[in-house]
Structure 1
Amino acid sequence: MRALAAAVFGNGRAGWLATWIFLLAEWTEQDYLSPQAAGYLIMLAALALTVRYLVRPGLAHPVRSRPGRRLPPANLPRERLAVHGLILIFALALAPTHQLTPFVLAGLLLVMALTRRLWPGWLPWLVLVPALVWFSLGAKDFWQGQLHMVVGDIGQVTSSVDQGITGRFTGDAGRTAILIVRVALTGAVGALALGGWWVRHRRGLHSLPLVVLAAAPLAMAVLQSYGGEVFVRCYLFALPFAALLAAGGLDAALGARAAPGPLATTTRVAHRFPQAGPVVVGLVLTLLGLATITARGGGDAYLSYTRSDVAAVADAYRLAKPGQTISGLSADATPLGFDKIGVVSQTSIEDTCPRYIQVTDCVQETAPDYLVVIPSQDNYGQIYYGLRAGWTDRLVADLVRYGKYRVVFDEGGSRLLARTGGGEGR
């Protein structure tokens, strides 16, 4: 992000402000070790290289060339050729990494081309073709027979809103408060971006590409609900450019040069209260950071795992034979999926037992070979569905009493149950 900000604003203060806004407002928790995070990092690197070497005029500069004419950037052809090669490598790496990121990168490059910034205009296709080839060939086994998962939500904006916003306001008062903080933080970043655009517009710095780039990821809501998380992804992909716009406004609040562009006139407020600008900027950054800490920590009660939790799952992997099933009570509150992918089936009881109504019967009907029960699942049931504390203890006691399961691992409140006749204890 720092490289992208420097490519847009130079090495001055505005670039650093954009970097800090990005870091302090990234509440989506998509920066853990995952394909999404790796793809996002590659995308930012590709954007930074593009803006630095393949964009003219800059994203924060007005267009002065004649319509229909793109000027080559003011660098050597061999530098541009090297960047083309790097972006092709990035595109090849992104194609199998994540289902959204390569298409978002291609879309952002297309925006730069349509606003007559990008040189050459065919660069978006260089990114798009590897993703389409991978989808057609490499991912064929996934979408063949379930193409509705990919195209079924196209145009269903109401469904995206229901799943991505209104449908997420479930759970107790604490969770609702966290969700309100996330929505407010998202709105605050949007307001700062609009404010930054307005300030630059008043100074004759028409940053249309930055505005369109920040708004473009919202198009994903028209194409996919993404399992109810599409607006989280919209925010994630819009954040770099929203941070750039917001930085322009905060930089102006400091009463200094609006980079890039002409010298800004110092406001009357700045004359009377010379410390007002730094105080306002410091307060904004502090509030963003505190809100992000609050928003990111909202799920710790059921998303944080102890060594005992991981050991219970590891024991399930050790005991389970190929083709058997390991289940957790909730996919969001169980550390499954770090081993034996495709060897054993890894499922969630919540998928077939909404709100855990008659959960004991659900487990017996589903009959997984191994059932992981850990404290985070108990917290999950309390937060989302208002269940009483200790409901997982009662579930374990019932399953053992009925003779359907036996406990084969019990450590620190984390337990692994094996279906009678389904495996051996350790």
Structure 2
Amino acid sequence: MALNDQARGSSLLSAGKLDVAIAASLAAAIFLWLFALPLADPADLDDLGLVSILPAQYWTALVLVISAFAASLHPLSRVALLRPASLVALVILLHATPAIVYGTLRYSWAWKHIGIVDYIQRHGTVDPTAPFLAAYHNWSGFFRFFALFADWFNLGPLQVADLARFFSVISSLIFIVLLKFIFRSFTDDRRLQWAAVWIFLCANWVGQDYFSPQAFAYIFYLAVLALCLGPLMPQGSRSHSGVGRMLREFRVMFTSYTSHQRQVQPVLRILATLAVFASIMIIVASHQLTPLLLICSLAALSVMTPLSIGYPVLAGLGVAFWIVYPAAPFTAMHLPAEVASLGDTLEGVTGKLVNTAKVSSEVAIVTWSGRILSALVGLMAVLGWLRRLRAGYRDGVVCALLAAPFPVMLVTSYGGEAIFRIYLFCLPFLAFFAACLFFVSRNSGRGTAVSVVFAVTSMFLTAGFLLANNGKDRQYRFSGQEVAAAYWVYAQAGPGTLLVEGARSYPSQFSNYENFTYLPIANERPEEVAKILADPAAVLSRWFREPNWKDGYVIVTRSQRAYVEALGKMPEGALDELVTALAQTPDFQLVFSNDEAVVYRASRFLP
């Protein structure tokens, strides 16, 4: 008896020491991260992106966080808070780093989203018939919410942008909470739940968590799944029909789903139902694609579980209502073309993939990092699923949710962009099966070796994330000087202005965006680009002589140069030669200049 007490005391002592070591590692990691931030100079970014400027202190901090989380999964770790604390630390290192180091909002589409918020603030509403960015005006839930937020705090577009650079941090923290609830419905093994959330964060490289309607809608999508898998899931099928019996037999064959072990209070069920209804309408009002993916996921749940078919029907009715009524102007204008291009997603996949043979070796490394990371997670998921199957688990619900997004590829005209969205919606369930590779059951993965292998795998995943997610930051990161140049243009020009841009990759359209017609040279056909570069002053002068323009500017920035050179859109130095040509002709006058941007105005519009 005394020997057992002694052994128990030794085990508790070891557990206490391990938890102290984990907590110390996390504290040291945050300290090193804070020390590393001032050492990273965004001016030194190359075509490998963020990783090219991260100092050794950052990488040490990342290793410490990974090691701490892997150790927290060991049976000797008894402090439950260490796992979510490690996840929060990971989010800070992966997402807060670029936001702080760059000091400005990255990615040009995020600035466009701020432009719609600015429009609503100035006009009090949207314009469903707007000729430019029309989809945003017809699916405006996200923008209306943040316009209201900005009005509450009296924020202008630059202040909104300053806050929006941390949006991926906030959204990732929310993902942690919602995914934990979802994974709790699949397993009662907390190690597996937390490991699946961890892998999701490491593999979520496609960049759909930035300040955007997609990220906003995705939060509510996960919330709907969490509620439907949790408090809204019936205890069992009450149907006595032939179809009901067949479904019960089907579910017994393919799933061992046991979501509810305890009764749900009626008040909680009512509140959950109202929350699902509100979430569905927010999704429907904010994004075009997410409602379709939600319908597919809820339909899959209705087949694989006793969840009422009313939920996917409700989502479908919400989509139909929005298309027919609030988005009617957009529907009338674009529906024929949308129907004609159904299925273009499959044909457009290759169009969204970078041709690595035409870009620099660094850009090719970044491109392949995303592909390899996705393939690695997919391989881990397959192996994890096989382990679960061999161990006797029937994860039909997880498999159904994993497969649910793919039909969208056949019924949308999103083109190749949809492949990245589908990866995002599959990722929670890929991450769950990938985590099963390490923790297939409560009694597996309890040795030190598993923790070490998990940590090493996580290091590869996070390295892949940093390359794939931040590898294009030389073109997606914008300096304060570029922001100042763009803001000057948008503050000066009135309606009917032609704005010629070297490329779209700069902080654009975030203020008074409807005053302009935009012409990015890099988006022209290659033969047209060649003609422009052959004699830019003459070609651009001809454009601005069109009688319908009331004003006209040309803006060229550092990030535009980085974009066209990295992707081979123009020869190296082409935009510099264009600027030189404009400086040598009286048809244009330099009206704004700093170290990273120049703005020329067509002389015919000068007072």
TM-score bucket of the superposed structures, by smaller chain: 0.7 to 0.9
Residue 90 (structure 1) aligned to one of 279, 283, 295: 279
Contact conserved, 2:587 with 2:604, CA < 8 A, in 1? no
Residue 224 (structure 1) aligned to one of 403, 412, 418: 412
1:165-216 Cα distance to aligned partner (Å, 9 max, x none) = 4768753322222111111111111111111211111011111221121122
Using the size of structure 1 for normalisation, the TM-score is 0.86
Amino acid at match of 2:289: L
Counterparts of 1:142 and 1:340 in 2: how far apart (Å)?
22
Which residue is equivalent to 2:493? Answer: 320
2:394 aligned counterpart, secondary structure: coil
Residue 48 (structure 1) aligned to one of 217, 221, 226: 226
Say if 2:386 is the partner of 1:198: yes
Say if 2:577 is the partner of 1:394: yes
The range that moved more, 167-176 or 412-421, is 167-176
Contact conserved, 1:379 with 1:389, CA < 8 A, in 2? no
RMSD: 2.7
Say if 2:537 is the partner of 1:385: no
Residue 350 (structure 1) aligned to one of 513, 522, 526: 522
Amino acid at match of 1:42: F
Q: Which runs of 5+ in 2 are unaligned?
A: 1-178, 237-243, 252-257, 545-550
The range that moved more, 82-91 or 48-57, is 48-57
2:302 aligned counterpart, secondary structure: helix
1:266-308 Cα distance to aligned partner (Å, 9 max, x none) = 8xxx8xxx43211221111121111000111221111110011
Counterparts of 1:148 and 1:166 in 2: how far apart (Å)?
30
2:582 aligned counterpart, secondary structure: helix
Query: Alignment identity in percent?
Result: 26
Which residue is equivalent to 2:361? Answer: 173
Residue 306 (structure 1) aligned to one of 479, 489, 492: 479
The range that moved more, 25-34 or 366-375, is 366-375
Residue 339 (structure 2) aligned to one of 130, 151, 159: 151
The range that moved more, 187-196 or 13-22, is 187-196
Which residue is equivalent to 2:196? Answer: 18
Quickly say closer, same or farther: Cα 1:413–1:19, change in 2 above 3 A.
same
Query: More helix per residue: 1 or 2?
Result: 2
Quickly say closer, same or farther: Cα 1:119–1:220, change in 2 above 3 A.
closer
The range that moved more, 313-322 or 208-217, is 208-217
Contact conserved, 2:502 with 2:575, CA < 8 A, in 1? no
Which residue is equivalent to 1:130? Answer: 318
Amino acid at match of 2:295: A
Which residue is equivalent to 1:339? Answer: 511
Contact conserved, 1:407 with 1:416, CA < 8 A, in 2? yes
Q: Number of aligned pairs? A: 401
Counterparts of 2:453 and 2:494 in 1: how far apart (Å)?
60
Counterparts of 1:166 and 1:375 in 2: how far apart (Å)?
22
Quickly say closer, same or farther: Cα 1:362–1:14, change in 2 above 3 A.
farther
Q: Which runs of 5+ in 1 are unaligned?
A: 59-64, 258-262
1:345-395 Cα distance to aligned partner (Å, 9 max, x none) = 334222334373233265445438122210111111211117454322210
Counterparts of 2:290 and 2:277 in 1: how far apart (Å)?
14
Counterparts of 1:76 and 1:24 in 2: how far apart (Å)?
36
Which residue is equivalent to 1:186? Answer: 374
Counterparts of 1:303 and 1:208 in 2: how far apart (Å)?
40
Contact conserved, 2:346 with 2:409, CA < 8 A, in 1? no
Counterparts of 2:374 and 2:299 in 1: how far apart (Å)?
25
Residue 268 (structure 2) aligned to one of 79, 100, 118: 79
Counterparts of 1:112 and 1:407 in 2: how far apart (Å)?
61
Contact conserved, 1:405 with 1:418, CA < 8 A, in 2? yes
- TM-superposed CA distance for 1:27, in Å, is 0.5
Contact conserved, 1:214 with 1:242, CA < 8 A, in 2? yes
1:125-162 Cα distance to aligned partner (Å, 9 max, x none) = 22222222112222222232333542333234651333
Which residue is equivalent to 1:61? Answer: none
Quickly say closer, same or farther: Cα 1:227–1:130, change in 2 above 3 A.
same
Quickly say closer, same or farther: Cα 1:365–1:5, change in 2 above 3 A.
farther
2:478 aligned counterpart, secondary structure: coil
Quickly say closer, same or farther: Cα 1:325–1:241, change in 2 above 3 A.
same
Which residue is equivalent to 2:309? Answer: 121
Contact conserved, 2:345 with 2:416, CA < 8 A, in 1? no
Counterparts of 1:218 and 1:330 in 2: how far apart (Å)?
33
Counterparts of 1:67 and 1:76 in 2: how far apart (Å)?
29
Counterparts of 1:416 and 1:147 in 2: how far apart (Å)?
38
1:46 aligned counterpart, secondary structure: helix
Say if 2:255 is the partner of 1:67: no
- TM-superposed CA distance for 1:219, in Å, is 2.4
Quickly say closer, same or farther: Cα 1:129–1:72, change in 2 above 3 A.
farther
Contact conserved, 1:113 with 1:119, CA < 8 A, in 2? yes
Contact conserved, 1:172 with 1:386, CA < 8 A, in 2? no
